[in-house]
Amino acid sequence: MSNWQADILMYHSISEAAGPTSIAPAVFAAQMQELADSGLPVVTPDALTAPAAPRMVIISFDDGFADFADTAWPILRDFGFLPIVYLPSSHVGASDSWRGGHIPPRPLMTWKDIETLAAEGVLFGAHSLTHADLATLSAPDLEEEVAGSGREIAARLDRPVRHFAPPYGSSSPTVRACIARHYDTSVGTRLAVAGPGDDLHDLPRLEMYYFNDITRWRTHLEGRGSLYLAARKTMRELRAMMRRHA
Ligand SMILES: [Zn+2]
pLDDT in tens, 30-61: 999 999 999 999 999 999 999 888 999 999 99
**Can you give the residue range of the structural domain that contains 21?**
5-245
Please say if the pLDDT value at position 225 is more than 90: no
- Give the model confidence (pLDDT) of 10-38 as tens digits: 999 999 988 888 999 999 999 999 999 99
Q: Compute, in angstroms, the gap from residue 99 CA to the centroid of ligand 1.
A: 10
2 alpha carbon – ligand 1 mean position (Å): 31
Separation of 88 CA from ligand 1 center, angstroms? 7
At 44, phi and psi to the nearest 5?
-110, 170
- For residue 224, the model assigns a pLDDT of 75
Cα(131) to ligand 1 centroid in Å equals 6
With a cut of 90, say whether residue 236 has pLDDT above it.
Answer: no
Burial class (CB in 10 A: 0-12, 13-18, 19+), 100: middle
Average pLDDT score, the chain: 92
Domain count, the chain: 1
% residues pLDDT > 70 (the chain): 91
Q: What average pLDDT does the segment 210-232 reach?
A: 79
CA of 21 to the centre of ligand 1 (A): 10
Q: Does the structure show a pLDDT above 80 at 229? A: no
State residue 103's pLDDT score: 86
The string of DSSP codes covering the chain is --S-EEEEEEE-EESS-SSTTEE-HHHHHHHHHHHHHHTPPEE-GGGGGS--SSEEEEEEEES-BHHIIIIIHHHHHHHT---EEEE-GGGTTSB--STT--SS--BB--HHHHHHHHHTT-EEEE--SS---GGGS-HHHHHHHHHHHHHHHHHHHTS---EE--GGG---HHHHHHHHHH-SEEEEEEES-B-TTS-TTSEEEEEGGGG-SHHHHHHHHTT---HHHHTHHHHHHHHHHHHHH-
Q: Ligand 1 centre and the CA of 132: distance in Å?
A: 9
Q: How far is the centre of ligand 1, averaged over its atoms, from the C-alpha of 190 (Å)?
A: 14
Q: Check which CATH number belongs to the domain holding 11 and give it.
A: 3.20.20.370
pLDDT digits (tens, 9 = 90+) for 150-193: 999 999 999 999 999 999 999 999 999 999 999 999 999 988 99
Ligand 1 mean position, distance from CA 33 (Å): 26
